[in-house]
């Protein structure tokens, strides 16, 4: 505070409210030598940067961005509202707008063809590719029952609870014949053609438990991790995003996601004295027992595999 009081006096400003505005003028050049001598007794100040010297620029680390993925995410925000006729069968109706939404225009057919994947944009084209009538495909995805079976009898899965060795329960959902045929076709002609991370060995063609164990031979330490309820944590939106990343339109990706995920019926029985076993399976999820679930699980964990691989090399 003494330094600021001296500075105010040097500038001719009064720090005492009793002082008048008729303060003495700042010292002249002849008197400033004494003032500068007095500054030696003041607290030291940090050296100031000359005004002409530029501030140092921060160094930015460049990041690699996948422009194709960015463009795919950006296209999610666009859709076409159709005011006249329905653009295609089972087109979605915009809430509050009174118009149908055409979600079939944002696919990337060039990317699909480059990867050797079947090209379709609408539910009709998907049904033709599956070789199943469109009404049956709509029945398989519970289009007429709000996306969820009303009862166990109307579900397209066989449900079975298994007791875990570590405690708790695991729900096994095996698709019935018609749905299983559609899922096998999706697996063979779409998912099997998408490369997985080199660290994924389960349910990957040409890999096995032997190829999984080979890189660890001779090492003194092995860290083993287990993801709790992994299939149940892969939700419907994640599966739709995977099909979107391959190049499918939102409409096609939604139907593919409905065909490869499960929603348990409301009247399903839970294991004895354990109603909380339902909790991981309440939302639409990957069913453990469907032929498409392992491939979709591997693809959904691709970024996790990248991070773990980088951690192991650090």
Q: Tell whether the model's pLDDT for residue 248 goes beyond 90.
A: yes
Phi, psi (rounded to 5 degrees) for 288: -80, 110
The two tokens of residue 244 are 């979107």
Q: Tell whether the model's pLDDT for residue 13 goes beyond 70.
A: no
Q: Nearest-5° angle of CA 195, CA 199, CA 200?
A: 60
The DSSP secondary-structure symbol of 275 reads G
- Matching residue, tokens 């090399």: 313
Of the spans 12-26, 117-131, 141-155, which averages the highest pLDDT?
Answer: 117-131
Are 123 and 102 spatial neighbours (Cβ–Cβ below 8 Å)? no
Question: Average pLDDT in the 46-50 region?
Answer: 60
In a domain? residue 202: yes
- Which residues does residue 262 pair with via DSSP β-bridges, in sequence order? 285
pLDDT at 305: 84
More confident: 23 or 184 = 184
Q: Tell whether the model's pLDDT for residue 38 goes beyond 50.
A: no
Region of residue 237 (left: phi > 0; alpha: psi -120 to 50; beta: else) = alpha
Closest CA to 118 of 131, 135, 102: 131
Confidence of residue 93 (pLDDT cuts 50, 70, 90): confident
Q: At what angle do helices 250-260 and 177-189 cross, to 10 degrees?
A: 130
pLDDT at 239: 97
Indicate the number of domains in the chain: 1
Global pTM? 0.72
Burial (0-12, 13-18, 19+ Cβ within 10 Å), 207: middle
In a domain? residue 80: no
Closest CA to 161 of 277, 260, 267: 277
In a domain? residue 271: yes
SS3 category, 112: helix
Structural domain span for residue 279: 114-313
Taken in order 139, 140, 145, 150, the sign of the CA dihedral is: positive
Question: Average pLDDT in the 179-204 region?
Answer: 90
CA distance 44 to 302: 58
Are 252 and 243 spatial neighbours (Cβ–Cβ below 8 Å)? yes
Mean pLDDT of the chain: 81
113 Cβ contact list (under 8 Å, min separation 6): 119
SS3 category, 80: strand
Are 165 and 270 spatial neighbours (Cβ–Cβ below 8 Å)? no
- Matching residue, tokens 């998912």: 191
Confidence of residue 100 (pLDDT cuts 50, 70, 90): confident
- DSSP H or E run through 101: strand 100-102
pLDDT at 226: 83
CA distance 91 to 80: 11
Confidence of residue 11 (pLDDT cuts 50, 70, 90): low
pLDDT at 43: 54
CA distance 313 to 280: 33
In a domain? residue 199: yes
Confidence of residue 222 (pLDDT cuts 50, 70, 90): confident
pLDDT at 255: 98
């Amino acid at each position: 505070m003494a330094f600021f009081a001296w500075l105010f006096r040097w500038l001719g400003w009064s720090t005492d409210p009793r002082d008048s505005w008729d303060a003495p003028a700042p010292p002249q050049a002849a008197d400033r030598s004494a003032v500068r001598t007095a500054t030696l007794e003041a607290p030291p100040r940090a050296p100031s940067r000359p005004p002409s010297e530029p501030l140092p620029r921060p160094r930015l680390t460049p990041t690699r961005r996948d422009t194709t993925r960015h463009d795919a995410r950006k296209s999610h925000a666009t859709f076409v509202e159709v005011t006249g006729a329905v653009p295609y069968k089972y087109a979605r109706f915009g809430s509050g707008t009174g118009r149908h939404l055409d979600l079939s225009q944002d696919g990337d057919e060039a990317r699909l063809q480059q990867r050797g994947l079947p090209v379709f944009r609408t539910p009709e084209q998907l049904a033709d590719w599956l070789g199943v009538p469109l009404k049956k495909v709509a029945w398989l995805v519970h289009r007429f029952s709000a996306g969820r079976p009303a009862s166990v009898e109307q579900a397209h899965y066989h449900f079975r609870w298994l007791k875990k060795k570590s405690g708790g329960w695991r729900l096994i959902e095996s698709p019935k014949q018609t749905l299983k045929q559609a899922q096998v076709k999706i697996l063979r002609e779409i998912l099997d053609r998408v490369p997985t991370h080199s660290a994924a060995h389960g349910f990957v063609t040409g890999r096995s438990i032997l190829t999984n164990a080979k890189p660890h031979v001779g090492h003194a330490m092995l860290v083993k991790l287990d993801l709790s309820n992994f299939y149940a944590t892969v939700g419907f939106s994640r599966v739709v995003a995977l099909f979107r990343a391959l190049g499918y339109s939102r409409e096609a990706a939604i139907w593919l996601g409905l065909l490869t995920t499960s929603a348990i019926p409301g009247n399903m029985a839970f294991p004895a004295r354990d109603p909380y076993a339902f909790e991981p399976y309440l939302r639409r999820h990957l069913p453990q027992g469907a032929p498409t679930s392992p491939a979709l699980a591997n693809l959904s964990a691709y970024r996790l595999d990248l991070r773990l691989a980088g951690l192991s090399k650090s």
